[in-house]
Every structure is written in structure tokens, then in C-alpha cells.
Structure 1
Amino acid sequence: MIDHIKITNTGRIYVTWTKKAATAASALLFAMGGMSVTASPAAADGPCPAKRLCIYDLINFEGNRIASGSTNACFEIDDFAFDREIRSYDNNLSVDAAVWHRSVYTGLWTKERTLVANKFSSDIARFNVGGTRNAQVCMGPSAYPSL
């Protein structure tokens, strides 16, 4: 199972496994129609592509962007070069996404916000959504954060 994949602002992918294991996992992930996640400065890439969830660390779809095309997976925000909390989003997926936070005290996950399918917000008007450690974004009704 994939624990963490880190993609830098330059598009480099860092996987914590050996090369052989990473290659096998990548092949399995793509064979299953798995998760495609990229992180980049938003201005360089233009608007959020079709069939993608894009989250931004600044209002008005600016700053760093994380884009995912998965409809049944989660990713940790800490694994990306994401400077701040989620401040705006554009969900072009057919499924809702949820932002979850895990308490360092209890270990329990709490849903912070739902990013509704085929909707967007240029300013979610709530600080610190996904901005703390232990935050995950899960796409799809059956995707839940991992421990």
C-alpha cells in the first residue's frame, strides 16, 4: 500500500520505497486507475483542468496548487510544498472531497470541510482548513483518511 508520495513545486516525485518497490507500486496504482496528484504554482498552470480537484493555499485560486484526478483516494497535504492552509478550491470531479484533520491528542479524524463536486470557492472564508499537521484530503464517498 502507498504510504506517502511527495511531489515538489518543480514536479519531482519522491517515494520512500526502494526503486523496485516504487516501480511495482506505480504500475499497480495506474492499473487500478489510481490517484494522479501534482503540485505546482497555480499561475504557471492556468485554471483547474476538467475532472480534477484543485486546492490552493491562497484566495482567488492563487499560490501553490495541488491537483488530483482520483475519485476514491486520499492524500496528505503535508506531503506537498503547500505553504498555507486551503484558502480556495475548484472541484471539477463528479464526487465530493473532504478535508480531514487528525487530533494529535486523541488520534481521531474530524471532517473540517466538504469540497462539493462541480463547485468552487475563491475564498472559503475560514482560516486553517487543512493548515495543520495531520491533514488529508479524501475524494469520493468511500475514501477515508489512513492512520
Structure 2
Amino acid sequence: MNLKFIKILGLYQLIAGALGILTFLFFLHTIDLLNVALNGLSIYSGYLLLKKDFKKGLNLSIINQFLQIIGVSLLGFTFKFVAGICLGFYIDLTSDTIIGASVNLNIWQMSFSSNTEQIRISLNFIPVILINYIFREKAKLT
């Protein structure tokens, strides 16, 4: 088992989740319970890994990272969550096909709007890479 990777992953998730909540509070001066829950999942899974509760921590880390892979805007609904680094691409099909790259930190978007024409899908590569390593480490536990 690669304890160095697990420690770095734990710190990454803990710090990213805390910054996600603090950033949201700082800029919007309000609390969104879903934002707190999702970033709280990141904080808790990081805490478990640092506490060396590897089985539970890795399982929650997988869930946490899966929630960060795809962002979508479709039929007036928007959802995108990233606790940490976002490095990926997007496809915007709203009025024309636009493909672009995205690099961000800590993203939280969830809304329902009357703009039902927007169609945008984004993919974040960082959680895909992390999930690969998490599954490798999880396999070493058994």
C-alpha cells in the first residue's frame, strides 16, 4: 500500500473541501446545504484517510471523485461540482458546437433556470486519474 499517496489524497480532499465551503461563504455570504454536503464529503473522506481508516476513506473518496467527473447544463438544469483541481474540456452545443479546455479550482454550480436552450457537458480528468489510483490502493487492502 502506498501510504504516501493516501496521505496526499487525504490532505488534498480535506483542504479542497474546506476551501470549497470557505470560498462559497466568502463570495456569496450564504450557505448552500448541498454545497456543504458535497464539500463535507470531501473533507470527511480526507479525514478518514489521514486517520488511517483506509477502507471507509477510500470508498468515500471514490464516491467523492465520481461526483466531480461530469458537469452538465441541459434543459434548464445545471450541475457541476469540483472540490480541488479541475483540468478538462467541455463541449457547448447551445448555438454552435464549441469545444474548449477548462482549468479551475473549486467549482460549485447548481441551478434550475428558464434557459432551456443551453446544452453544455464538461469532463474533469483529475478525478478520473485519482479514481484509477484509489482503485489500485483499494485492491491492495484485500
TM-score where L is the length of structure 2: 0.30
Larger helix proportion, structure 1 or 2? 2
Larger Rg: 2
Larger strand proportion, structure 1 or 2? 1
TM-score where L is the length of structure 1: 0.29
